[in-house]
Amino acid sequence: MLLKDKIAVVTGAASGIGKEIAITYAREGAKVVIADLNLEGANATAAEIEKTGAQAIGVAMDVTSEAEVETGMAKAVATFGGIDVLVSNAGIQIVAPVDEFEFTKWKLMLAIHLDGAFLATRAALRQMYKQGRGGSIIYMGSVHSKEASVLKAPYVTAKHGLIGLAKVVAKEGAKHGVRANVICPGFVRTPLVDKQIPEQAKALGISEEDVIRKVMLKDTVDGEFTTVQDVAAAALLFASFGSNALTGQSLVVSHGWFMQ
């Protein structure tokens, strides 16, 4: 088991990629905190994990709220006794051309993806530094941390920003043995992507099939979606790696859509 007795907090783990990461970490021996806006979903993921004999709890957390992040992280520490791994994963997508983007929606996107990552990181770092046993912070970036697409200005801006945050955390965290890295997935069939397909079809005036074939998977090497399991495997590597040799990095998991 690669994460035996480690304590991991995964934000946005009621669904999709975060849920699969939580399940994978639990299978590898971690105690997992499922932090999500959707408490019912978080509790359901925790219950699913507990059925396997592993330990997990659901925690209500809106990552844009300083108070909720502080309370949720404190609950993680009170329940399991510390934090060794943070996966800052919670995210949403809102698509529109820049000239039509509503400012409130722009601010919401940056609040979830960037303020949320900062708040969870700060709380985790304070705990990790206090514990003095190192740690791993993992950000859910995207191919959009490296590439741009039309209609996704705040998403692309925020996902690029996460790479900057990870590099600073890697430098500051090094003397405490805390590593920080970014995973950059291609398109994964989760509710976040399923919602975008009809929206993009409408915005671009093409069929849903063409959104998948000619937009989402156009530049992959094999026309295939990345899976939640693919992303969880990368999250396991970053969580379990044993030294500062792997820090400040971003790993693209995208069927070759983006090549470094």
CB of 94 or CB of 170, closer to ligand NAD: 94
Query: What type of residue sits at position 217?
Result: L
Q: Does 108 bind ligand NAD (CB under 6 A)?
A: no
Smallest distance, ligand NAD to C-beta of residue 217, A: 11
CB of 245 or CB of 259, closer to ligand NAD: 259
Here's the x/- map for ligand NAD, 15-54, by CB under 6 A: it reads as: xxxx-----------------xxx--x-------------
Residue listed under structure tokens 């996460």:
162
Q: Does 256 bind ligand NAD (CB under 6 A)?
A: no
| Torsions phi, psi for 83 (to 5 deg) | -140, 125
Whats the size of the chain, residue-wise?
260
Q: Which of the stretches 78-86, 119-127, 189-197, 235-243 binds ligand NAD when contact is defined by CB under 6 A?
A: 189-197
Binding to ligand NAD in span 126-185, by CB under 6 A: 140, 142, 185
CA-based nearest residue to 130, from 195, 163, 82, 182: 82
Alpha-carbon distance of 92 to 129, in angstroms, equals 30
Burial profile 65-85: b = 16 or more Cβ within 10 angstroms, e = fewer: beebbbebbebbbeebebbbb
Out of 25, 80, 187, 238, which residue is the one contacting ligand NAD (CB under 6 A)? 187
Sign of the four-CA dihedral 252, 253, 258, 259: positive
CB of 20 or CB of 84, closer to ligand NAD: 20
Smallest distance, ligand NAD to C-beta of residue 193, A: 4
- Whether the Cβ atoms of residue 174 and residue 121 lie closer than 8 Å to each other: no
CB of 12 or CB of 161, closer to ligand NAD: 12
CB-count exposure of residue 192 (10 Å: 0-12, 13-18, 19+): middle
Smallest distance, ligand NAD to C-beta of residue 185, A: 4
Smallest distance, ligand NAD to C-beta of residue 141, A: 7
C-alpha distances out from residue 253 to 143, 151, 164, 227, Å: 8, 22, 19, 9
Q: Does 89 bind ligand NAD (CB under 6 A)?
A: yes
Q: Does 59 bind ligand NAD (CB under 6 A)?
A: no
Out of 25, 59, 62, 220, which residue is the one contacting ligand NAD (CB under 6 A)? 62
Query: What type of residue sits at position 151?
Result: L
Q: Does residue 155 have an active-site annotation?
A: yes
Q: Which residues are catalytic?
A: 155
